[in-house]
């Protein structure tokens, strides 16, 4: 694993001076050593990698077209031909689960990136500039009092059509869902980062940077940001898990992607009416959601322990 | 304390205002058409009239002001009146016989209805040069002619829209509109044409039943588990429960719900998969049935909060068990049971109680999904139906109710924290 950031940089590199034989210890290296001790997190990492591999490389191995309709094979159970069964039109659930996974994971990832970027930005600015603090925290509080799920439902419903016209049915809804989930999920991160920034900006190294005349942007970017990264990384994992669940919930309520566009939540929504005929239709996509979210949460737990220097032995 | 509470309440007013502006703006910006659901046979000109009558073409701020007035003043009063039977607005009662309207030229095609109770006059208008009082009942306007017989201004059967105050048939010159006193408006659903508050009141008990039961279940299961976990840290029970808790809030409720339906309804046949909304509890048997049909929705909704609360109880308990006062209590020779159950637990519960208060709006939102799985006719289902039908007023009302819940329980949590923890100063 490549080091994410270094804590200290010696003026002469150790390998050049020949003083040390081992490679330098880095903060991320330490964290990785600690993370490996967390068995559940390591196991989850393995499972998550498998899921990602299945979703990305799946179509290379499993050639069945997810949109191919074979009405005669409808509601087939789990057979060799259709390991995950088929839906009411005879479409192969395995192929649909693979394609659905791509969408679900992409949404989780993008929404997380949006939430983290906005949250970190707002948190940094609020923590660092005292004048903006009050205003930004009021806004954060207000966003926190918004009812997330109802608002999400309302917004996706109302702005579906214009975005569909602007970007096409799939991309439009992808953009909409990702932006809305991201914009309704940045507040905890902003509060967290603000708290961290408030303590960090009183540290000596920030005073030192100020005294040599660094401007605010430099201080924020190269002194404060690296130090708030650990809690943000932990928050990012939980945020991604949350985003995947939220998207699935939206699709499950029938308000996500269009019907012919599989996502894990949408597959559950489509399959729930045929529960008595073929439970496989619901079981596999549901299992994939649960497994992915569970793994990400365990990894988050592991990261939290690994990135907290006080817990490190 | 009182001062703190008042300040906290005052701060929540601008928050509520901004939230209502956000909710209102989102729905205003939306391209949804309020007359989109009406039959296609209605000509465009009439459609435009309907829009006008609905106030769709009013300026933004006017609409927002009307909306605010409706939500902050009128609807709460409506709720109070409906639930307590009190009356705030003076009403004019006429004997039913008086109210059978007489046909007159231009009014022939109007629908006549027997009205039992009539709200008193709102405006005085000029009709054919004569000043008349305009009355409003639930959904219709009418005038009283010389013989005190009412002329209804109303929606007609053939689809043309009745005369609003400003319409051509009733001549209302500028400046002649004399508001005597306003009768209270009711916010109507576009889908059912009935007051939204009625819909809300009709559906609240089911939601409260499911939400309340599951939250209680979650609290009564989670807190003991958390305490035992903390007391026996790193034991097998602790490990198992921690993993179980993570599973509990990782597996989405809709998946657990569907699994439950498959296992307990389809395979085992223990519980009904669809909640019977018409069921009335009259005796013990019907009460048992009510419990039986509630078990699955309640459990599904409770699992998530069980996981969350047990985790917090555990960590809070762990912190307290390490503290000096626990050691002191033990060294005084107090029984271990009492040290844990009385001294440590009471202090550990402070953050948990706050969290419980903060979680309440979340359970209501969680109920949206649970109600959808088990077809419970609660508020969540009403929201979904309204969203699917493009029924903006209902959607606005429900979203606003959810927002109010959020703000309210935030305050409750803050106040509880201040009350329970004497170290917190009321600043």
Q: What is the ipTM of this complex?
A: 0.80
Percent of chain B with pLDDT over 70: 70
- What residues in B contact A282, CB-CB < 8 Å? 255, 258-259, 262
Phi, psi of B278, rounded to the nearest 5 degrees: -90, -5
Amino acid B82: pLDDT = 66
- pLDDT of B188 higher than 60: yes
Identify the closest residue of chain A to B247 by CA–CA distance.
A294
Cβ B388–A254 below 8 Å, yes or no? yes
Shortest alpha-carbon distance between residue A64 and chain B (Å)? 26
Cβ B19–A146 below 8 Å, yes or no? yes
Cβ A146–B22 below 8 Å, yes or no? yes
Q: Return the higher-pLDDT residue of A240 and A5.
A: A240
Q: Return the higher-pLDDT residue of A27 and B7.
A: B7
Amino acid A17: pLDDT = 52
| Cβ-nearest to B254 among A40, A150, A268 | A268
Cβ A147–B15 below 8 Å, yes or no? no
Cβ B407–A145 below 8 Å, yes or no? yes
Q: Return the higher-pLDDT residue of B117 and A234.
A: A234
Shortest alpha-carbon distance between residue A63 and chain B (Å)? 28
Cβ A150–B399 below 8 Å, yes or no? yes
Query: Tens of pLDDT along B207-222?
Result: 888 889 999 999 999 9
- What residues in A contact B368, CB-CB < 8 Å? 149-150, 153, 253
Shortest alpha-carbon distance between residue B377 and chain A (Å)? 15
Shortest alpha-carbon distance between residue B63 and chain A (Å)? 19
Amino acid A108: pLDDT = 92
Cβ A145–B368 below 8 Å, yes or no? no
- What residues in A contact B247, CB-CB < 8 Å? 290, 294
Residues of A with CB under 8 A from a CB of B: 40, 141-142, 144-151, 153-155, 157-159, 161-162, 241, 245, 248-249, 252-255, 265, 268, 272, 275-276, 279, 282-283, 286, 289-290, 293-294, 297-298, 301
Amino acid B95: pLDDT = 32
Q: Return the higher-pLDDT residue of A283 and B276.
A: A283
Q: What is the DSSP secondary structure assignment for residue B97, as one 8-state letter?
A: G
- pLDDT of A189 higher than 80: yes
Asked if residue A123 lies in contact with residue A197, where contact means CB atoms within 8 angstroms, the answer is yes
The candidate with the shortest Cα–Cα distance to A100, out of A185, A182, A170, is A170
Least confident range of B223-227, B262-266, B269-273: B269-273
| Cβ-nearest to A154 among B15, B26, B406 | B26
- Confidence class for position B93, pLDDT limits 50, 70, 90: very low
Amino acid B170: pLDDT = 38
Is the pTM above the cut of 0.90? no
| Cβ-nearest to B262 among A265, A279, A298 | A279
Least confident range of B95-99, B235-239, B423-427: B95-99
Cβ B262–A289 below 8 Å, yes or no? no
- What residues in A contact B27, CB-CB < 8 Å? 154, 158
| A160-177 mean pLDDT | 80
Phi, psi of A175, rounded to the nearest 5 degrees: -60, -45
CB under 8 Å to B422, separation ≥6 — which residues?
none
Asked if residue A278 lies in contact with residue A91, where contact means CB atoms within 8 angstroms, the answer is no
CB under 8 Å to B357, separation ≥6 — which residues?
B409, B412, B413, B416
| Cβ-nearest to B252 among A145, A275, A290 | A290
Asked if residue A306 lies in contact with residue B292, where contact means CB atoms within 8 angstroms, the answer is no
Q: Which of A168-182, A297-311, B93-107, B192-206 ranks highest by mean pLDDT? A: A168-182
Cβ B399–A159 below 8 Å, yes or no? no
Amino acid B97: pLDDT = 32
| Cβ-nearest to A161 among B29, B31, B395 | B31
Query: Tens of pLDDT along B43-68?
Result: 777 777 777 766 677 777 887 887 78
What is the distance between the alpha carbons of residues A16 and A9, in angstroms, rounded to a whole number?
Answer: 13
The candidate with the shortest Cα–Cα distance to A154, out of B237, B238, B391, B72, is B391
Q: Return the higher-pLDDT residue of B69 and B351.
A: B351
| Cβ-nearest to A245 among B252, B262, B372 | B252
| A37-46 mean pLDDT | 86
Amino acid B154: pLDDT = 41
Please, which contacts does B260-264 make with residues 24 or more away whose CB atoms are closer than 8 Å? B260/B296, B260/B299, B260/B300, B261/A275, B261/B296, B261/B373, B261/B374, B262/A275, B262/A279, B262/A282, B264/B296
Cβ B32–A241 below 8 Å, yes or no? no
* Mutation for B interface: A154, A275, A277, A298, most B CBs within 10 A: A154
Residue B74: both structure tokens together: 């009128």
Query: Tens of pLDDT along B117-164?
Result: 334 334 444 444 455 555 554 444 555 555 555 555 443 332 222 333
Could you count the other beta carbons within 10 Å of the beta carbon of residue B139?
Answer: 15
Q: Which of A6-20, A247-261, B104-118, B181-195 ranks highest by mean pLDDT? A: A247-261
- pLDDT of A311 higher than 70: no
Asked if residue B34 lies in contact with residue B54, where contact means CB atoms within 8 angstroms, the answer is yes
- pLDDT of A147 higher than 80: yes
Residue B271's alpha-carbon distances to A126, A294, B205, B373, in angstroms, are 52, 28, 21, 14
Q: Rounded mean pLDDT of chain A? A: 81
Q: Return the higher-pLDDT residue of B206 and B280.
A: B206
DSSP calls for chain A: ---S--S---SS-HHHHT--SSPPP-HHHHHHHHHHH-HHHHHHHHHHHHHHHHHHHHHHH----TT---GGGTT--S-SSSTT-B-TT--BHHHHHHHHHHHHHHHHHHHHHHHHHHHHHHHHHHHH-HHHHHHHHHHHHHHHHS-HHHHHHHHHHHTHHHHHHHH-HHHHHHHHHHHHHHHTS-HHHHHHHHHHHHHHTTSHHHHHHHHTT--HHHIIIIIIHHHHHHHHHHHHHHHHHHHHHHHHHHHHTT-SS-TTS--HHHHHHHHGGGTTT-THHHHHHHHHHHHHHHHHHHHHHHHHHHH-TTT--
Amino acid A12: pLDDT = 52
* Mutation for B interface: A43, A142, A149, most B CBs within 10 A: A149
Amino acid B221: pLDDT = 92
- pLDDT of B226 higher than 80: yes
What is the distance between the alpha carbons of residues B124 and B176, in angstroms, rounded to a whole number?
Answer: 8
Shortest alpha-carbon distance between residue A286 and chain B (Å)? 6
What is the distance between the alpha carbons of residues B88 and B81, in angstroms, rounded to a whole number?
Answer: 7
- What residues in B contact A159, CB-CB < 8 Å? 30
Identify the closest residue of chain B to A272 by CA–CA distance.
B258
Cβ A293–B251 below 8 Å, yes or no? yes
Amino acid A120: pLDDT = 93
Q: Return the higher-pLDDT residue of A219 and B115.
A: A219
What is the interface size between A and B, counted as CB pairs within 8 Å?
119
Phi, psi of A72, rounded to the nearest 5 degrees: -70, -35
Q: What is the DSSP secondary structure assignment for residue B55, as one 8-state letter?
A: T
Shortest alpha-carbon distance between residue A284 and chain B (Å)? 10
- What residues in B contact A272, CB-CB < 8 Å? 258, 373
Q: Which of A23-32, B79-88, B247-256 ranks highest by mean pLDDT? A: B247-256
Asked if residue B161 lies in contact with residue B42, where contact means CB atoms within 8 angstroms, the answer is no
Q: Return the higher-pLDDT residue of B288 and B152.
A: B288
Integer Rg of chain A from CA: 23
- What residues in A contact B398, CB-CB < 8 Å? 150
| Cβ-nearest to A275 among B261, B368, B388 | B261
A80-118 burial, b if ≥16 CB within 10 A, otherwise e? eebebbbbeebbbbbbbbbbbbbbbbebbebbbbbbbeb
What is the distance between the alpha carbons of residues B134 and B161, in angstroms, rounded to a whole number?
Answer: 18
| A264-292 mean pLDDT | 83
Cβ A253–B372 below 8 Å, yes or no? yes
Amino acid A190: pLDDT = 92
- pLDDT of B180 higher than 50: no
- pLDDT of B299 higher than 60: yes
CB under 8 Å to A210, separation ≥6 — which residues?
A219
Q: Return the higher-pLDDT residue of B15 and A19.
A: B15
Helix, strand, or coil here: B69? helix
| Cβ-nearest to A149 among B32, B368, B407 | B368
Q: Which of A251-255, B196-200, B325-329 ranks highest by mean pLDDT? A: B325-329
- What residues in B contact A155, CB-CB < 8 Å? 26
Q: Rounded mean pLDDT of chain B? A: 72
Cβ B252–A286 below 8 Å, yes or no? yes
- What residues in B contact A247, CB-CB < 8 Å? none
């Amino acid at each position: 694993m490549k080091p994410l950031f270094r804590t200290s940089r010696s003026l002469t590199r150790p390998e050049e001076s020949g003083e040390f034989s081992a490679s330098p210890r880095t903060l991320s290296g330490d964290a990785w050593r600690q993370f490996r001790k967390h068995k559940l997190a390591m196991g989850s990492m393995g499972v998550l990698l498998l899921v990602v591999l299945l979703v990305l490389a799946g179509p290379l191995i499993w050639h069945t077209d997810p949109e191919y309709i074979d009405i005669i094979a409808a509601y087939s159970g789990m057979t060799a031909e259709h390991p995950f069964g088929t839906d009411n039109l005879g479409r192969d659930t395995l192929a649909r689960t693979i394609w659905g996974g791509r969408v679900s994971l992409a949404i989780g990832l993008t929404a997380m990136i949006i939430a983290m970027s906005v949250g970190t930005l707002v948190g940094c600015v609020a923590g660092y500039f005292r004048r903006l603090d009050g205003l930004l925290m009021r806004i954060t509080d207000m966003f926190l009092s918004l009812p997330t799920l109802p608002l999400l439902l309302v917004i996706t419903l109302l702005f579906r059509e214009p975005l569909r016209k602007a970007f096409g049915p799939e991309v439009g809804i992808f953009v909409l869902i990702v932006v809305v989930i991201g914009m309704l999920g940045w507040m905890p991160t902003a509060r967290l980062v603000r708290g961290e920034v408030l303590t960090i900006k009183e540290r000596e190294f920030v005073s030192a940077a100020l005294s040599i005349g660094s401007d605010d942007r430099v201080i924020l970017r190269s002194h404060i940001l690296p130090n708030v990264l650990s809690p943000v990384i932990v928050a990012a994992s939980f945020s991604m898990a949350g985003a995947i669940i939220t998207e699935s919930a939206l699709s499950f309520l029938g308000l996500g992607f269009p019907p012919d566009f599989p996502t894990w939540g949408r597959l559950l929504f489509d399959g729930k009416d045929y529960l008595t005929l073929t439970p496989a239709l619901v079981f596999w996509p549901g299992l994939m959601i649960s497994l992915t979210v569970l793994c990400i949460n365990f990894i988050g737990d592991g990261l939290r322990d690994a990135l907290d220097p006080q817990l490190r032995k | 304390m009182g001062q703190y509470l008042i300040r906290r309440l005052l701060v929540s007013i601008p928050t509520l205002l901004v939230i209502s502006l956000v909710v209102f703006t989102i729905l205003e910006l939306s391209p949804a058409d309020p007359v989109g659901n009406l039959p296609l046979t209605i000509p465009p000109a009439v459609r435009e009239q309907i829009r006008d009558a609905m106030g769709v073409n009013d300026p933004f701020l006017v609409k927002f002001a009307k909306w605010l007035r409706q939500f902050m003043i009128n609807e709460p009063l409506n709720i109070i009146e409906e639930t307590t039977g009190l009356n705030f607005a003076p009403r004019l009662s006429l004997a039913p016989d008086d109210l059978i309207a007489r046909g007159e030229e231009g009014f022939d095609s109007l629908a006549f209805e027997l009205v039992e109770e009539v709200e008193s006059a709102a405006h005085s208008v000029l009709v054919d040069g004569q000043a008349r009082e305009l009355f409003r009942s639930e959904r219709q306007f009418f005038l009283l002619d010389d013989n005190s017989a009412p002329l209804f201004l109303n929606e007609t059967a053939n689809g043309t829209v009745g005369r609003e105050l400003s319409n051509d048939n009733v001549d209302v010159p500028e400046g002649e509109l004399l508001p005597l006193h306003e009768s209270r408006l009711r916010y109507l659903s576009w889908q059912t044409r009935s007051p939204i508050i009625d819909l809300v009141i009709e559906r609240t008990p089911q939601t409260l039943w499911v939400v309340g039961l599951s939250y209680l279940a979650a609290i009564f299961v989670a807190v003991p588990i958390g305490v035992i976990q903390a007391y026996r840290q790193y034991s097998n029970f602790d490990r198992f429960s921690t993993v179980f808790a993570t599973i509990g809030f990782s597996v989405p409720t809709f998946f657990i719900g569907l699994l439950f339906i498959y296992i307990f309804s389809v395979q085992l046949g223990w519980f009904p998969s669809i909640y019977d909304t018409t069921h009335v509890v009259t005796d013990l048997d019907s009460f048992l049935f009510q419990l039986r049909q509630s078990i699955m929705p309640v459990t599904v909704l409770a699992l998530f909060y069980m996981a969350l609360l047990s985790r917090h109880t555990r960590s809070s308990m762990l912190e307290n068990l390490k503290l000096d006062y626990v050691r002191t209590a033990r060294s005084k020779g107090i029984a271990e049971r009492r040290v844990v159950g009385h001294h440590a637990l009471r202090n550990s519960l402070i953050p948990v109680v706050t969290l419980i208060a903060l979680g309440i709006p979340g359970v209501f939102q969680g109920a949206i999904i649970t109600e959808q799985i088990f077809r419970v006719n609660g508020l969540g289902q009403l929201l979904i139906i309204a969203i699917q039908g493009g029924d903006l007023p209902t959607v606005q009302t429900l979203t606003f109710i959810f927002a109010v819940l959020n703000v309210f329980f935030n305050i409750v949590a803050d106040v509880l924290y201040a009350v329970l923890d004497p170290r917190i100063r009321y600043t």
